[in-house]
């Protein structure tokens, strides 16, 4: 019988791409999303891509009764919990919004899973838990540093909560946290992608919107870092590759191949790229100009981080496959689709 995965935040950027890959791998998927930072059209576009009808529930995961009710109605084998707020700057201004929502929704989902006997969860974590590591690449044994923002703190605390739940005596739930580096790009169909509301905080949506003429000029935040060209280094991971890492994690859990009740893996490419290198690669592969200027550093940014991908390769049998050129072409194709540019 097909296994069924509940995807919370399944109308969002990473959730929608993961839903496509889960269906492609033979899973049934149910989506829950409150659409607070996403659009229902993402779910219908996933249906178009996969040719599959997806049961969709619109509610806030903090509503434990609704979650219990969903588990009563559907036999769910595993949950992937994406639903959370993710804007670093906003979390500094409105910390309670982040602690309430991100921790509340996680504990609500875990409570309902525990009561209804749903045994597996994959959690959407972030490389932000490492802060600026002393040594690179960051491995899963790299010590975590004090979070740089309330958003980052919610990711660290969420991992702690999940670990306590999974490692408790007589625990019924097993878990995997995936620590994402910088997810970018869009589905090759250009039917789903990142839909930031307002002015984008992240680099690639700002690049694509500048290339499309929506933004006048991209600011490069700092060229005086201790890096080869002075701009900051990150590990940019294609969202489709990232989605496939979730399928690998879910399979490990539902097939009982986990080596501990709570495991965590980096999801990156292992290849650092600078902000300027990324802009130039985007211009080259898409044949468009991205108007940009160097400005001062952005508060709270780290200088450099990239992943060690060894553990994910060894344990999940997963590694990133798409080239940065394919990824940046997909990001531009999506932006053109959204803007109706030929
Ligand atoms: N950048 C610019 N100009 C912009 C936007 C970003 O130069 O307009 C630079 C940033 O300074 C940084 C790099 O591009 O050096 C990447 O910035 P993003 O905002 O795209 O990504 P971050 O690495 O800052 O943040 C990401 C995720 C967060 C997560 C964080 C740490 O978006 O969710 O990594 O893991 F918390």
Q: Report CA-CA distances (Å) from 292 to 42, 78, 207, 218, 296.
A: 30, 44, 9, 4, 13
Please tell me the distance from the alpha carbon of residue 185 to that of residue 205, in angstroms, as a whole number. Answer: 9
State the first-to-last Cα distance of the chain, in angstroms, to the nearest integer: 44
Mean pLDDT of the region 110-119? 98
Give me the pLDDT at residue 8, please: 98
Give me the phi and psi of 244, to 5 degrees please: -65, -30
Beta strands in 242-335 (DSSP E): 262-267, 273-274, 292-295
For the CA of 220, the nearest atom of ligand 1? 7
Residue 273: how many other CB atoms lie within 10 Å: 18
Between the CA of 173 and the centroid of ligand 1 the distance, in Å, is 33
151 is annotated as an active-site residue: yes
| Pocket lining: 328 vs ligand 1, CB cutoff 6 Å | no
Give me the pLDDT at residue 244, please: 99
Please tell me the distance from the alpha carbon of residue 269 to that of residue 298, in angstroms, as a whole number. Answer: 24
Between the CA of 203 and the centroid of ligand 1 the distance, in Å, is 6
Tokens 């804007």 belong to residue: 87
Q: What is the pLDDT of residues 248-298, one digit of tens each?
A: 999 999 999 999 999 999 999 999 999 999 999 999 999 999 999 999 999
Average pLDDT of the residues of the chain: 97
Q: Report CA-CA distances (Å) from 254 to 22, 188, 262, 273, 283.
A: 13, 28, 14, 35, 42
Hey, is 46 helix, strand or coil? helix
The model's confidence at residue 309, banded by pLDDT at 50, 70 and 90, is: very high
Q: What is the pLDDT of residues 160-212, one digit of tens each?
A: 999 999 999 999 999 999 999 999 999 999 999 999 989 999 999 999 999 99
Statement: the pTM of the whole predicted model exceeds 0.85: yes
């Amino acid at each position: 019988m097909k296994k069924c995965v509940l995807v919370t935040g399944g109308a969002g950027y990473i959730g929608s791409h993961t839903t496509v890959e889960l269906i492609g791998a033979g899973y049934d998927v149910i989506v829950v999303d409150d659409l607070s930072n996403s659009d229902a059209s993402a779910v219908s576009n996933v249906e178009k891509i996969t040719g599959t009808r997806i049961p969709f529930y619109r509610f806030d995961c903090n509503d434990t009764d609704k979650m219990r009710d969903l588990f009563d109605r559907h036999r769910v084998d595993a949950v992937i919990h994406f639903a959370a707020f993710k804007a670093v700057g906003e979390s500094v201004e409105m910390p309670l919004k982040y602690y309430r929502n991100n921790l509340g929704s996680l504990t609500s989902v875990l409570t309902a899973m525990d009561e209804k006997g749903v045994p597996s969860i994959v959690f959407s974590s972030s490389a932000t838990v490492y802060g600026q590591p002393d040594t690179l690449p960051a491995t899963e044994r790299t010590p975590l540093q004090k979070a740089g923002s309330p958003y980052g703190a919610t990711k660290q605390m969420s991992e702690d909560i999940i670990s306590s739940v999974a490692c408790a005596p007589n625990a019924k739930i097993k878990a995997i946290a995936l620590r994402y580096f910088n997810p970018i790009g869009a589905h090759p169909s250009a039917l789903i992608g990142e839909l930031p509301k307002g002015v984008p905080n992240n680099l690639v949506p700002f690049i694509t919107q500048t290339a499309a003429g929506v933004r006048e000029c991209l600011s490069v935040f700092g060229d005086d870092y201790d890096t080869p060209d002075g701009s900051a280094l990150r590990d940019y991971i294609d969202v489709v590759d990232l989605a496939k890492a979730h399928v690998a994690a879910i399979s490990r859990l539902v097939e009982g191949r986990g080596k501990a009740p709570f495991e965590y893996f980096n999801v990156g490419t292992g290849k650092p790229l600078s902000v300027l290198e990324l802009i130039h690669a985007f211009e080259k592969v898409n044949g468009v100009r991205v108007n940009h200027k160097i400005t001062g550093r952005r508060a709270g940014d780290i200088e450099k981080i990239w992943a060690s991908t060894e553990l994910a390769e060894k344990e999940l049998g997963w590694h990133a496959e798409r080239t940065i050129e394919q990824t940046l072409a997909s990001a531009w194709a999506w932006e053109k689709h959204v803007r109706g540019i030929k």
